[in-house]
Structure 1
């Protein structure tokens, strides 16, 4: 099997602004919290932040750049995060120098904001991936913020296909898993829940079409969404969500059953 080589982001995106827009539509891929409403080129004083988003986790500020991260972008991120009173601040780049990683880790020790350095990589199939390079340690988060964990996801994380670490309350909007290179998220919004499949890279539309055909004729309805570099299928589950506390057992059951059914069908297919 031929290994995929990393290529530069600039070979996929003509401008950093194009990457910002694509990233803004898929903030969950960063794994830093639950954010739904975003603005690109968001005004901050006389400057513009690449991405500012809000959601259950608070306010997110993202600066991104092609190539190696520089201190100019780090300085902008610090300024924007302070002015926006951000709960999470992220610098996305293709590489970072050691001093910046050390600086970010030290910043996490004395700040109420969560600081992240995230490496963005794209392979020769134009498939994107993100890797946390620097981030707040969980013990620092607990000590500093008395982190609370989601009551909704707790039973789901205890056992079964979607078992895993407890979900911080700030990240309550989704949990994710991958199947045959396809991202699968269980999503919990205020008044509804759904299963999201996301495809990236040049072959995303073809792979999505193959999955659509896989589910054709089943009782699983889905909606199509796409952006310049991603293609999504959204399977609505219930018009009930986080605010419907009395229905949580039903929501958990139907959300996980739907997610596992979708996962198993893709896992056993040749898509």
Structure 2
């Protein structure tokens, strides 16, 4: 009979705040402010939000992002960019992406978020007005509006999903540190406990993060997690993998 799983260390000793692995530099260019970001944009980039919002507040018309030196960007980093864009819209300003690394470009393409950060088409280099192009008929205009609406809806749904993801990643780190498990086995424990207690994953993650600050974890969740930890230690693998 396997020995009941025990915490390797009290949850209250864990620091769940991920480090920020990115830096930003802001330069004013007329009515716009160019923000150059370097490093890695992940959930830790949330620490940059106060500085980014301050830059946005000081700009006249908005912010242009230079992401050419961003080596890594995941949904946590994109969520920071989307939040900055939303704050800009609330102020009647815009956030655009001037340049981006291949890593950022792939993420923008996969999520459909590229169109949300597109700059306006520039005019000819001699400063004259842009050449007039064909005016789309009403049917093309309606189709374009439909595509734009669908894109914004999809990105909105993605953004809500991404807001829950950082908490899940932190919860997985808590399980890894508390029970000495690998990332895969920690994920298995979370999935198993979520399924067996009929608790949504992000709610389970929030509960574990609350435990770090002294909030009690419901007994059924503790029991299912203990059972799941014992199982992965016995078998070396979980019954469920990442979804």
Q: What is the TM-score when the length of structure 2 is the normalising length?
A: 0.29
Larger proportion of helix: 2
Length-normalised TM-score, structure 1: 0.27
Q: Which structure has more strand as a fraction of its residues?
A: 1
